[in-house]
């Protein structure tokens, strides 16, 4: 589904990623481990086309993504990919429902359709009773579930998550972990997850480890 080839990333003379190859097949769940500063987030951002590599290529279903313009890439991302981060990045002045509706509103869909889709996703996340709450009125686990609901708005094929449980207590972390695997089963999502949590990592059929911008075998 997605294939990264010889990805390098440098900031000035500082090389962060040192020629990474990576491939994920459709429906697979892969976990990326590694110490702080290893380059995991940098790599995930490139894989998700949020950032361009200094050298190397990412193919999505055979198509060379970085041949696309920024506008084409942003359209690609919103249609195909979902992102979940350690900090949820919800908009504080909007309710849970409005936050989840946002991708639809940005895409110019009508209000009623957006509302129906967002409400359905929040109900699926077990948040039917939290629709009109603002992020500050939600627990950390609830905020993260709203963020996940928002990431699913356009029915992505692949979910990229950067320490999605990094900010949660163990009970909420467990719940988010379960949710990821439930999404994979029920929606056929492909998962690429960066985590420091070794227990979470053991639930993935495949994990890869990064150190100093390279894979460790």
Q: Is 190 in the site for Mg ion (CB under 5 A)?
A: no
Q: Which does 150 bind (CB under 5 to 8 A by kind): ligand ATP, Mg ion, none?
A: none
Q: Which does 36 bind (CB under 5 to 8 A by kind): ligand ATP, Mg ion, none?
A: ligand ATP
Exactly one of 1, 5, 8, 16 binds ligand ATP (CB under 6 A); that residue is: 16
Exactly one of 22, 34, 41, 118 binds Mg ion (CB under 5 A); that residue is: 41
Ordered DSSP codes for 56-79:
EEEEETTEEGGGS-HHHHHHHHHH
Query: DSSP secondary-structure letter at 18?
Result: E
Q: How far is CA 143 from CA 64, 67, 87, 150, 191, in A?
A: 34, 35, 9, 11, 20
Give the count of residues interacting with ligand ATP (CB under 6 A).
Answer: 10
Q: List alpha helices for the chain, DSSP H.
A: 40-47, 70-80, 96-106, 111-124, 140-151, 170-187, 198-201
Nearer to ligand ATP, 56 or 104 (CB): 56
Reported for 63-70, long-range contacts at CB under 8 A and 24+ positions apart, including other chains, are none
Residues 27-56 as x/- pattern, contact with ligand ATP by CB under 6 A: -------x-xxxxxxx--------------
Footprint of ligand ATP (CB under 6 A): 11, 16, 34, 36-42
Footprint of Mg ion (CB under 5 A): 41
């Amino acid at each position: 589904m997605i294939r990264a080839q010889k990805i390098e990333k440098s900031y000035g003379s500082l090389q962060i990623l040192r020629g990474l190859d990576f491939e994920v097949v459709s429906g697979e769940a892969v976990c990326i481990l590694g110490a702080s500063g290893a380059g995991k987030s940098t790599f995930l951002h490139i894989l998700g086309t949020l950032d361009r590599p200094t050298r190397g290529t990412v193919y999505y279903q055979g198509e060379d993504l970085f041949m696309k313009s920024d506008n084409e890439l942003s359209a690609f991302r919103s249609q195909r990919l979902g992102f979940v981060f350690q900090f949820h990045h919800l908009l504080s002045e909007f309710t849970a429902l409005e936050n989840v509706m946002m991708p639809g509103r940005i895409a110019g869909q009508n209000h009623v359709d957006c509302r129906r889709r967002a409400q359905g996703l929040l109900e699926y996340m077990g948040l039917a009773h939290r629709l009109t709450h603002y992020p500050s009125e939600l627990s950390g686990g609830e905020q993260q579930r709203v963020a996940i609901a928002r990431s699913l708005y356009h029915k992505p094929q692949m979910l990229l998550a950067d320490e999605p449980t990094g900010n949660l207590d163990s009970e909420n972390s467990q719940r988010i972990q379960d949710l990821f695997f439930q999404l994979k089963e029920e929606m056929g999502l492909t998962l690429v997850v960066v985590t420091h949590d070794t227990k979470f990592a053991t639930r993935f059929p495949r994990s890869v480890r990064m150190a100093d911008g390279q894979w460790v075998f």
